[in-house]
Amino acid sequence: MKDLSGARTGFARAGTPMKHHFDQPPEGFRILPGRLDRPAQEALLADIRAVVEAAPPYRPQMPRTGKPFSVRMTNCGALGWVSDRAGYRYQSVHPETGRPWPPMPQALMDLWRAVANFPHPPEACLVNLYDADAKLGLHRDEDEDEFAAPVVSVSLGDTCLFRLGGLARADRTRSLRLSSGDVVVLGGAARLAYHGVDRIYPGTSTLLPGGGRINLTLRRVTPAP
């Protein structure tokens, strides 16, 4: 499996304008293009189909306003990230079925062990389901109590335009394309970097029969022992 780790590779691949060529993303940002080959993507997709069957995707709402997300979500692992009028939080049960989240597939535990460089397992895997029109606004992953652990994110299906900013919302951002099988690690100084998904490019992958994109985000939530 190719591991073209390194921000410069990732950004060159994304076609960053030359005038920004020497700007570096926050330390600790890594993109592993094609970290999962097609058979690994298919196997992981089968795992996620089982997750989605046990824990049906739902449309979260923005805190306070109740405005619905364009992305549908579910989770696997001991804890799941949810959002509704009451706010953002982690909880151990699905907000609609009241049942515990399905366990995290072994392939995701293995991936974390291989790339996270953190001695304790992830506790939550947020499953984001994007159709052709879905986007995710610029945000930080900051609802966890353990920022020493990275966020590890897997892309499946159609390519997206991912935006990475800095540690402040107003910091300059960079855009890069994430394709099926790419893995992104937000660790170190990049752990709390702003990021979001600006658009999906329909028809860029044959992995999902109906098109769209799935993103899996692995996180450690509670303080490591």
Contact call for residue 7 and ligand SIN (CB under 6 A): no
Among Fe ion, ligand SIN, none, what binds residue 205 when CB lies within 5 to 8 Å by partner kind?
none
Contact call for residue 72 and ligand SIN (CB under 6 A): no
Strands (E), 72-194: 72-77, 80-84, 87-91, 124-130, 136-139, 151-157, 160-164, 174-178, 183-186
x/- site string to Fe ion, residues 202 to 221, per CB under 5 A? --------------------
- Cα distance between residue 89 and residue 129, in whole Å: 19
Phi and psi of 38, rounded to 5°?
-60, -45
Report the relative pairing of strands 87-91 and 174-178 from DSSP bridges: unpaired
Q: Is-contact 101 164, C-beta < 8 A? A: no
Number of residues that bind ligand SIN (CB under 6 A): 9
Contact call for residue 158 and Fe ion (CB under 5 A): no
Contact call for residue 90 and ligand SIN (CB under 6 A): no
Contact call for residue 74 and ligand SIN (CB under 6 A): no
Q: Which of residues 91-150 bind ligand SIN (CB under 6 A)?
A: 126, 128, 136
- Applying CB under 5 A, among 47, 123, 141, 182 the residue interacting with Fe ion is 141
Nearest to 94 by CA among 67, 63, 126: 126
- To Fe ion, the closest distance from the beta carbon of 151 in angstroms equals 7
- Applying CB under 6 A, among 197, 200, 207, 221 the residue interacting with ligand SIN is 197
Q: Is-contact 183 34, C-beta < 8 A? A: no
Name the CA dihedral angle for 188, 102, 44, 212, rounded to a multiple of 10 degrees: -90
Contact call for residue 144 and Fe ion (CB under 5 A): no
- To ligand SIN, the closest distance from the beta carbon of 31 in angstroms equals 11
With contacts defined by CB under 5 A, name the span among 35-43, 50-58, 60-68, 134-142 that binds Fe ion.
134-142
Q: Is-contact 95 165, C-beta < 8 A? A: no
Q: How far is CA 89 from CA 85, 148, 221, in A?
A: 11, 19, 10
User: Which region holds residue 217: left if phi is over 0, alpha if psi is between -120 and 50, else beta?
Assistant: beta
- To ligand SIN, the closest distance from the beta carbon of 104 in angstroms equals 16
- To ligand SIN, the closest distance from the beta carbon of 211 in angstroms equals 16
Provide the binding-site residues for Fe ion, judged by CB under 5 A: 141
Provide the binding-site residues for ligand SIN, judged by CB under 6 A: 126, 128, 136, 153, 162, 195, 197, 215, 217
